[in-house]
Amino acid sequence: MNFKNPEPISSKLFRFLWGIVSFIPFNLIPRPFGIKTRYYLLLLFGAKLGKNVVINNKVKIYNPRNLEFDDYVSIGPNVNLYSVAKIKIGTYTVVSQYSELLTASHDYTKNSFDLIKKEIIIGENCWLSYGVLILPGIVLNNHIVCASRAVVVKSFLDQNIVIGGNPALFIKKFKIND
């Protein structure tokens, strides 16, 4: 295989610097002290964050410039945000611990194994419960609950639904109780 890496050197240097700077705040500073530190570091490195965004410790972020979170988004500990392309998350959405959002993969049909990048869009009031895997190019509409360990390989454009399984399938519709 002939691997191609079209990423410019400036981008590699940015990610190298980000890796050094983010290591201590994202891994070692405990939750109550590190939330504001992580928030401001992400802003400094180009993330677009709304108000009251909570990023817990041990979150792995590939490129903060590709993050766009609305207000009141919560990212649990040990989440992997593989943000080679944009990751957009709507208001009041929770991404629970050990979940992974992957915006890149490889074209296995070519000998060059080219990198494929596709953004992920998660709507408002969603909950990605424990260990959910979201693959490149996925769009989830508002008010979607992903059951634990779901592997989301296609977009879900309905609202007020629960999905789950591997691959994730529609489980049921629900009503919002106020």
What pLDDT, in 10s, does the model give residues 82-127?
Answer: 999 999 999 999 999 999 999 999 989 998 888 899 999 999 999 9
This prediction's pTM: 0.93
Is 129 domain-assigned? yes
Helix, strand or coil for residue 163?
strand
From CA 33, how far away is CA 71, in angstroms rounded? 20
Does residue 102 sit within a domain? yes
* Amino acid, single-letter form, for residue 108: Y
Q: Which domain holds residue 140?
A: 9-173
Question: Does residue 4 belong to any structural domain of this protein?
Answer: no
Number of domains in the chain: 1
Cβ atoms of 139 and 121 closer than 8 Å:
yes
In a domain, residue 92? The reply is yes
- CATH code at 137? 2.160.10.10
Q: What is the band of 177 on the pLDDT scale with cuts at 50, 70, 90?
A: confident
